[in-house]
Chains A and B, each alone.
Chain A
Amino acid sequence: MAPALVLLAGMLLYPIIYTVWVSLSDFDLSTFQPSGWVGWKNYEAVLADPGFLQSLKVTGVYLVVALPLQMVLGFGLAFLLNVEWRGRGLLRALFLIPMVVAPVVAGGVWRMLLDPLWGVVNYALGLVGVGPVEWIGDPTLAMVSLILIDTWRWTPFVVLIASAGIMALPSDVYEAARSDGANRWQTLRHVTVPLLVPVVAAAFVVRWLGAVKMFDIALAATKGGPGQATDVVNLYIYEKGFRGLEFGSASSMATVVLLITMIITYFLFRISRRLENRW
């Protein structure tokens, strides 16, 4: 037990404690170490930083749109894949490809595909008289593109979890529903959905924890731009820390994001438990 605790302390606690320490200190670039204690000064600056607040907003927009989209698509596709049809196995295997592509590569490749001059997407749109569309250059479309790329990459993950959940549903309950005369919609509404709630909740929480870390696709595809249109909070913190070398501010931001994430995750767990108990 003790070695495991020491390992846990070293691997998990130390980086967090160090980050909090840096966030409360003045980071000395000449020693590359936190130096003088500055109290809440970094936090005050961060909470007054319009760029940081904007990046939180951008992250919120991305999460609110991308997560439900991926859940709906993921479970919808899982239902389709659960039905017997020819080629289902092949499609299942193909579905795994986006998941194994490195996020930076995915971002870079999609950036090329969406390029108005060289990209195949605009070429195809051009054939039907549309475009060229500035997928990455337009502030609104850049966020749409980011969500599309992320959805392309992560929907298969939801499909996998959902498929496992659907396959594990007890057949006797369906037989009972059928003998009671339930039609397809009633079966879905009163049997399948309630039984899948724990799976949906678990998938959502896991995806939430993954999505809140969104960084590399944005870095490779849009660099957070144009302006701050796709500047998700982790990218903003990275730029502040590792490009601007403002480690005190960056650590304060990271701590704030950690707290927000923990609070929201706590509520998500409570909601998911309540949903499980309800059905």
Chain B
Amino acid sequence: MRRFLRLGAVVTAFGLTLAGCGSSTTEAPADGGGLGTAESPVSIRVIANDAFAKQWQDQLVPEFAKKHPNIKVTVDGVPYNDQLAKSMLELTSPTATYDVILGDDPWFPQLAKTGGLVDLKTDLAKFTDAGYAWDDFNPSPLAAGQWDGHQYGVPVRSNLLLMFYNRELYKKAKVAEPTSETTWEQYFADAPKLVQDTDGDGKPDAWAVGTYFTKDPLTPTIWQTVLNSNGGRLLDDDLKVSFDDDAGVKALQTQIDLLKYAPPGASTYQFNEPLEAFRQGKVATMFMWGSVYKGTAIDKATTTLSEDQVGITTLPAGSAGPGAHRGIWSAGVAKKSAHQAAAWTFLQWVTSKEGEQWVGANLGTFPARDSTLQGTPPAPWLKPVYEAITKGYEAISKGQMWRPRLPESDAVQQILALQTSRAMSGQAPAKDAVHQAAVDISALLKSKGYAQ
């Protein structure tokens, strides 16, 4: 008995020790930790997505170091699927491992809700350069880092869903190239002609479209965009489900119909497969994140296509206008960071007018500043891209084309992904899938205290 009591005491002590680990927190110094000196440089860490973390470390950080040699930046890449949970854990832990937190578009409400991010406009105003022009940011990308009236993030990697098209395949099919005015009806009228036998062996070897079709939280963004471009929304202003109607069914059916003109096996397409199909000249159009443009049209190491073969514009228009979908990576500064001044200095440089020019020319990342979009692009190939982005930002603002701005955003996308996949694979008609998604999202939001 005594042995058991002793064991119990040890386990309790162990548990209390573990619990105690979470009790103390560190506070950020009032001077923001300074910007370092040659003798005593400041080190900051950035948590980023592994898709571009290496590019940042190898190219962006050395460029920043030319301006600020006393701030040493380390960028850690995390797989996309793990990044949100890891960032949440980081922001709620007693001490800060990371000074800069990068988050995808729908994540900022969740990250901000932890209370672990500072308001960049107010909390860090004392460390902000006088020339840093907040007003110059396009409202669409800037809004991705906002929540509850605060600016927790600044856009570092602006992205949006656009339509890429292969000019040669359009020419071969004798179909007029799409523009921002092209409607979904016109697109579907042309789609059968874009399924072609280009080598004359009697079998189709080029198809009309490649995009997300598989079970993935990004797959529903295609029909969400269709819904938005027809004036519909997932949630209304009271955060009640508003897509369980004909408009919702029509939008999902549009994505299902795209599959008829996609290559064999396209129902499993995520990010890489449609990209490869487009880059190898197998599909005439691709609904994809614009950030892939450089690797698709310019970098010979990653594409078979050339700049003059690749066109880019907004997604086909619905009754309310053309479509696009916001996918902005924003970056915030951790409240518990001991080096807020250095962290914010790094972010200010990346998002400054000068930084955007360098990033656009060298990394192919899209700008968020109007002055960059309207000015002379740092490289000639960016001209049509900037035009498409400008139109995309307009469409996004007009149609509120983004994922739900809620801490439950990812849970909502999970539900949409499942029901979209059921509909895409023929396990449920579009009407049933839309209805089930609406029921599940409504139940989820109700369980989190939202009036439904």
Contact of B114 among A31, A115, A244 (CB under 8 A): A31
Given contacts A10-B14, A226-B422, 13 further A-B contacts (CB under 8 A): A2-B7, A10-B18, A13-B11, A115-B268, A137-B267, A223-B214, A225-B421, A227-B418, A227-B425, A228-B418, A228-B422, A239-B414, A242-B82
Bound: A58/B427 CA distance, A? 15
The secondary structure that dominates the A interface is loop
Determine if B10 and A139 form an interchain contact, defined as CB atoms under 8 angstroms apart. Answer: no
Bound: A176/B263 CA distance, A? 64
Contact of B217 among A14, A30, A227, A243 (CB under 8 A): A243
User: A1-42 interface mask toward B, CB cutoff 8 Å, 1 = contact, 0 = none?
Assistant: 010011001100110010000000000011111000000000
Q: Which of B145-180 contact A (CB under 8 A)?
A: none
Q: Which residues of A contact B424 (CB under 8 A)?
A: 226
Determine if B214 and A30 form an interchain contact, defined as CB atoms under 8 angstroms apart. Answer: no
Does residue A45 face the partner (Cβ distance < 8 Å to B)?
yes
Closest B residue to A223 using CB positions:
B215
Determine if B89 and A32 form an interchain contact, defined as CB atoms under 8 angstroms apart. Answer: yes
Q: Which of B386-420 contact A (CB under 8 A)?
A: 407-408, 410-411, 414, 418
Determine if A9 and B425 form an interchain contact, defined as CB atoms under 8 angstroms apart. Answer: no
Measured CB to CB, the closest approach of chain B to A220, in angstroms, equals 11
The secondary structure that dominates the B interface is helix
Bound: A224/B216 CA distance, A? 10
Does residue A276 face the partner (Cβ distance < 8 Å to B)?
no
Closest A residue to B447 using CB positions:
A45
Determine if A117 and B265 form an interchain contact, defined as CB atoms under 8 angstroms apart. Answer: yes
Q: Which residues of B contact A137 (CB under 8 A)?
A: 265-268, 425
Bound: A33/B89 CA distance, A? 9
Closest B residue to A2 using CB positions:
B10
Q: A117-B277, A227-B421 known; A32 and B114 CB under 8 Å? A: yes
User: B429-452 interface mask toward A, CB cutoff 8 Å, 1 = contact, 0 = none?
Assistant: 000000000000000000100000
Determine if B88 and A29 form an interchain contact, defined as CB atoms under 8 angstroms apart. Answer: yes
Bound: A124/B148 CA distance, A? 57
Determine the interface band of chain A, counting residues with CB < 8 A from chain B.
35 or more
Does residue B40 face the partner (Cβ distance < 8 Å to A)?
no
Measured CB to CB, the closest approach of chain B to A128, in angstroms, equals 16
Q: Which of A236-272 contact B (CB under 8 A)?
A: 239-246
Q: Which residues of A contact B407 (CB under 8 A)?
A: 29, 245
Determine if A226 and B265 form an interchain contact, defined as CB atoms under 8 angstroms apart. Answer: no
Listed by A's residue number, 23 A-B pairs whose Cβ atoms lie within 8 Å are A9-B14, A29-B113, A30-B113, A30-B115, A33-B92, A115-B268, A117-B265, A134-B267, A137-B265, A137-B268, A223-B214, A223-B216, A225-B215, A226-B215, A227-B418, A227-B425, A229-B427, A242-B82, A242-B85, A243-B411, A244-B410, A245-B88, A245-B407
Bound: A226/B81 CA distance, A? 19
Q: Which residues of A contact B20 (CB under 8 A)?
A: none
Q: A30-B115, A31-B92, A32-B89 known; A227 and B11 CB under 8 Å? A: no
Does residue A165 face the partner (Cβ distance < 8 Å to B)?
no
Contact of B18 among A14, A119, A239, A241 (CB under 8 A): A14
Question: Taking beta carbons and an 8 Å cutoff, which residues of B are in contact with A?
Answer: 6-7, 10-11, 14-15, 18, 22, 81-82, 84-85, 88-89, 91-92, 110, 113-115, 214-217, 263-268, 270, 273, 276-277, 282, 407-408, 410-411, 414, 418, 421-422, 424-428, 447
Does residue A199 face the partner (Cβ distance < 8 Å to B)?
no
Q: A31-B92, A226-B421 known; A245 and B110 CB under 8 Å? A: yes
Determine if B267 and A226 form an interchain contact, defined as CB atoms under 8 angstroms apart. Answer: yes
Does residue A116 face the partner (Cβ distance < 8 Å to B)?
yes
Determine if A132 and B265 form an interchain contact, defined as CB atoms under 8 angstroms apart. Answer: yes
Question: Taking beta carbons and an 8 Å cutoff, which residues of A are in contact with B?
Answer: 2, 5-6, 9-10, 13-14, 17, 29-33, 45, 51, 111, 115-119, 122, 132, 134, 136-139, 222-229, 239-246
Measured CB to CB, the closest approach of chain B to A18, in angstroms, equals 9
Q: A226-B421, A226-B427, A242-B81 known; A116 and B89 CB under 8 Å? A: no
Determine if B422 and A227 form an interchain contact, defined as CB atoms under 8 angstroms apart. Answer: yes
Measured CB to CB, the closest approach of chain A to B128, in angstroms, equals 27
Bound: A157/B6 CA distance, A? 42
Bound: A137/B269 CA distance, A? 9
Measured CB to CB, the closest approach of chain B to A142, in angstroms, equals 9
Q: A32-B92, A115-B265, A134-B264 known; A244 and B411 CB under 8 Å? A: yes
Bound: A79/B69 CA distance, A? 67
Determine if A116 and B265 form an interchain contact, defined as CB atoms under 8 angstroms apart. Answer: yes
Determine if B10 and A134 form an interchain contact, defined as CB atoms under 8 angstroms apart. Answer: no
Determine if A134 and B265 form an interchain contact, defined as CB atoms under 8 angstroms apart. Answer: yes
Determine if A244 and B414 form an interchain contact, defined as CB atoms under 8 angstroms apart. Answer: yes
- Most chain B CB within 10 A, of A5, A14, A122, A226, is at A226
Q: Which residues of A contact B447 (CB under 8 A)?
A: 45
